[in-house]
Chains A and B, each alone.
Chain A
Amino acid sequence: MRWMIHQFRGPVWTFGDDISTDHIISGKYLGTTDSKAFAAHAFEAVDPTWAKKVKAGDLIVAGDNFGCGSSREQAPIALKTLGVSAILANSFARIFFRNAINLGFPVLECPGLRRKVNAGDVLEVDMARGEVRLPSGEITRFNALPPNVLEILEAGGLVAKIRAELSPKSS
């Protein structure tokens, strides 16, 4: 494994089931391509002050079907721009999942994790081992990522991966 940052440790923001891209970033803010503008309004529909409170290195833990709804990549871009280091959810909606991976943003499927975690808990995520350590010391495993998805994440995102493939091999 060539993880640049293969371990994350941070406090958790919790969310429920069926968090849609409309919750994450409202359609009315999409008339720009500026990632900071998306970040400033992240989760406004849930908590208007959230974007001000979240800190770099924080984690998100959510229930089922996180990121359902539109294909707007502005949703994972907003969360990544704010410095959220990873999202752990019972399950993800498919386009959100792809978009996040393509940005090199770890999204980890961890069935059953949500009910074991409270807001503010500090979790440790070990990408190489595929483990999440809860404050109690309990260890939960997240679902292994398919090899091609892991490759994209390890490359730092899809753009970096394609660039590497297109450039003449240096070895």
Chain B
Amino acid sequence: MAGHTITEKILARASRSEVVHPGQIVDGSVDLLYMHEMLAMALLPFNEIGTLKVWDPSKIVVTLDHWVPPPTPEIAKMHQTIREFCRTQGIQRFHDVGDHGIVHQLIAERGYAQPWDLVIGSDSHTNMVGAVGAFAAGIGATDTAAVMATGRLWLRVPETLRVDIHGRLSERTGAKDVILKVIGTTGDDGARYAAVEFTGPTVKAFPMNERFVLCNMTTEMGAKVGMIEADQVTKEYLAHAGRPFREIRSDEDAAFAKTFTIDVDGMGPQVACPSNPANLKPVEEVEGTKIDVAFLGSCTNARIEDLRIAAGLLKGEKVARGVRFQITPASQNIYRQALKEGLIEIFMDAGATFTSSTCGPCFGGHMGTLAGDEVCISSTNRNYPGRMGSPQAQVYLASPWTVTASAIHGEIRDPRKV
């Protein structure tokens, strides 16, 4: 009997089927639905469906993240609508401004998603949460409304692409460089409709913060979900949530559509150049490119470990003249931790700007957008034209090490040389 992938195991459980196979359409019972401001867009179709009540308020989490704090009266109003909806629907896990975080980070750090869960999020980077061994997929507003009303979602069981990563990375090189390399290899649609599962010694040695980076950017491969087996590292990360933990892994004899074996031994920092996440160059080839803005933020790379990297490089240094370096933590919890550890003071002394947690700059929404002639190096996940502001702005994607080293030098810099 052939074995099954993590995806197949979770979707079989969620659809109460004995087994499921790639290509099959299943009707999944959702264990966790999470939303940010897209809830406001989803209310239009939700009200049209007309069930009036959500299917199960205890399975829903909502936070505000895209526009925190609200930059316009219209968005403040949108937040009011969401707040009011959560109150009347009895959604207890509503994380309002003050208790907020970028939704994927908030879900991860609060332990809301567990291995074996079918998790649906109203955002394309829901893939990140699959790093805990969940099936976590992003959807749009109408699908969100459908899940709110019925607790169910049709899903095509995806094929699984396995990405097997070996080797020891060079210094000051991490998961961000690895995933940029993977995307550079597969292209930005190399995993369209598929599940991507990371494995191999390099991945198993990564702590959770790095595993989240890998799964986060499977979205930039076109993947439906990204995932990593739930092991001891996962268990320790989720321990504080106090929920029973069940390991999950693909069977040895499961059918993978394809396996990419990537040797990263000695690999150094990588950079995705304008204006596609797959437009990859090793850092050496873009060194010296002048920058105007450096941004350390987003669900991809703004966890406490990333902030520590930035602080380590910035200590006793200054951000280059004429460069604005903005650091935006991925959640309030991370903000608090950075405060405790004295990181914020280091950022301020160096001349960087430290802000409250929000998606703002990452999607060009507010609190730091780019002018047409600006060049930015960013720890985020996308650099399509117009993503961070003007369509003419040039955005390079890189690791927290490379972003910080570049901020100090005013040009793209190999962090190993700082």
A residues at B contact (CB < 8 Å): 18, 20, 22-23, 26-28, 30-33, 44-46, 64-65, 68-74, 91, 93-95, 98-99, 102-103, 146, 148, 157-159, 162-163, 166
Contacts and interface: CB of A to CB of B under 8 A. Distances in A.
A93 B222 CA distance: 6
* Residue of A22, A45, A46 with most chain B CB atoms under a 10 A cut-off: A22
A22 B156 contact: no
Contact of A158 (B66, B124, B138, B146): B146
Contacts of A33: 40-41, 43-44, 78
Contacts of A20: 382, 384-385, 387
Nearest to B189: A65
A82 to B, nearest CB: 18
A21 to B, nearest CB: 8
Interface string B192-223: 11000000000000000000000000000010
A73 B72 contact: no
A28 B364 contact: yes
A45 B48 contact: no
9 contacts: A18-B189, A22-B386, A26-B364, A69-B124, A73-B38, A74-B41, A95-B140, A158-B146, A159-B142
Contacts of A64: 189
A73 B384 contact: no
Contact of A73 (B48, B141, B224, B382): B141
Given A20-B387, A32-B74, A70-B123, 11 more contacts: A27-B365, A31-B72, A33-B44, A33-B78, A45-B386, A71-B139, A72-B38, A94-B222, A95-B139, A162-B49, A166-B51
Contacts of B142: 73, 99, 102-103, 157-159
Contacts of A73: 38, 41, 140-142
Contact of A68 (B38, B188, B364): B188
B122 A71 contact: yes
Contacts of A146: 25, 156
Interface string B15-32: 000000000010000000
B8 to A, nearest CB: 18
B143 A99 contact: yes
Interface of B: 25, 38, 40-41, 43-45, 48-51, 66-67, 71-72, 74-75, 78, 122-124, 138-143, 145-146, 149-150, 154, 156, 188-189, 192-193, 222, 224, 276, 363-365, 369, 382, 384-387, 389, 391
B75 A31 contact: yes
Contact of A95 (B78, B138, B385): B138
A102 B386 CA distance: 26
Contact of A72 (B25, B140, B146): B140
The 3 closest A-B pairs by CB, nearest first: A27-B363, A102-B142, A99-B140
B385 to A, nearest CB: 5
Contact of B385 (A45, A74, A158): A45
A46 B276 CA distance: 15
Nearest to B23: A146
Contacts of B75: 31
B49 A159 contact: yes
A88 to B, nearest CB: 17
A91 B365 contact: no
A136 B365 CA distance: 45
A14 B276 CA distance: 20
Contacts of B138: 71, 95
A91 B40 CA distance: 29
Nearest to A48: B391
Contacts of A22: 364, 382, 384-387
A99 B49 CA distance: 16
Contacts of B40: 33
A157 B138 CA distance: 19
A45 B369 CA distance: 15
Nearest to A19: B384
A65 B188 contact: yes
A71 B359 CA distance: 14
Contact of B276 (A18, A99, A157): A18
A40 B275 CA distance: 24
A69 B41 contact: no
Nearest to A30: B365
A166 B146 CA distance: 12
Contacts of B156: 146
Contacts of B145: 159
